[in-house]
């Protein structure tokens, strides 16, 4: 299904676009925080992508230079080519961009108010929970491997404790996989 060999009907197109519109409003930790629901929709519910294709799409996009949001375009491409890319990207960008611009202007005018400070503090645990759920979904293909789980634990420790750049952990993961230990 690489490059969009799935043929979608009008209901599928509208559903794909609407799903990413909805996810855009939940992406308080960035689009990556909504990856578990993207997985549910694209892999589990519709079968447009396999687990491996989903995970590979995210890995390829994250390795490429550019914004973190690129994985949404790659997922759309792998579902339905250029049209899939447009449906997913417009869906994920339109609401969140509009809301972000409006809320930023409003919040900047009221940044010292108790409500704005409380809202900002309350979003931190929500964002963390969504990112942990994303990590859980992305490790699914390799959860049966003790080596892969050890690599995840080492990555979390190295990035959190020693402030090590994640790119070094990506390189270590590539080396471990290339040697057949992952």
- Taking only the tens place, the pLDDT of each residue in 24-81 is 988 776 788 899 999 999 999 999 999 999 999 998 888 888 788 899 999 999 998 9
- Burial status of residue 86 (CB atoms within 10 A of its CB: 0-12, 13-18, 19 or more): middle
Confidence of residue 149 (pLDDT cuts 50, 70, 90): confident
* DSSP symbols for 76-137: HHHHHHHHHHHHHHHHHHHHHHHHHHHHHHHHHHTTTSHHHHHHHHHHHHHHHHHHHHHHHH
pLDDT value at residue 156:
80
pTM above 0.85, yes or no: no
């Amino acid at each position: 299904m690489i490059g969009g060999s799935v043929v979608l009907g009008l209901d599928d197109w509208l559903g794909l676009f609407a799903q990413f519109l909805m996810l855009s409003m939940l992406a308080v930790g960035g689009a990556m925080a909504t990856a578990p629901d993207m997985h549910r929709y694209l892999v589990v519910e519709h079968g447009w992508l396999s687990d491996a294709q989903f995970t590979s799409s995210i890995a390829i996009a994250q390795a490429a230079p550019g914004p973190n949001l690129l994985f949404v375009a790659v997922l759309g491409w792998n579902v339905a080519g250029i049209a899939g890319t447009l449906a997913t990207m417009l869906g994920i960008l339109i609401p969140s961009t509009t809301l972000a611009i409006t809320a930023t202007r409003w919040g900047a005018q009221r940044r010292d108010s108790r409500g704005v400070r409380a809202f900002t503090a309350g979003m931190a645990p929500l964002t963390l929970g969504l990112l942990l759920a994303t990590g859980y979904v992305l490790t699914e293909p390799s959860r049966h491997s003790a080596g892969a789980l050890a690599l995840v634990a080492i990555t979390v420790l190295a990035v959190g404790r020693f402030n090590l750049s994640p790119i070094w952990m990506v390189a270590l993961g590539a080396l471990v996989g290339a040697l057949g230990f992952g």
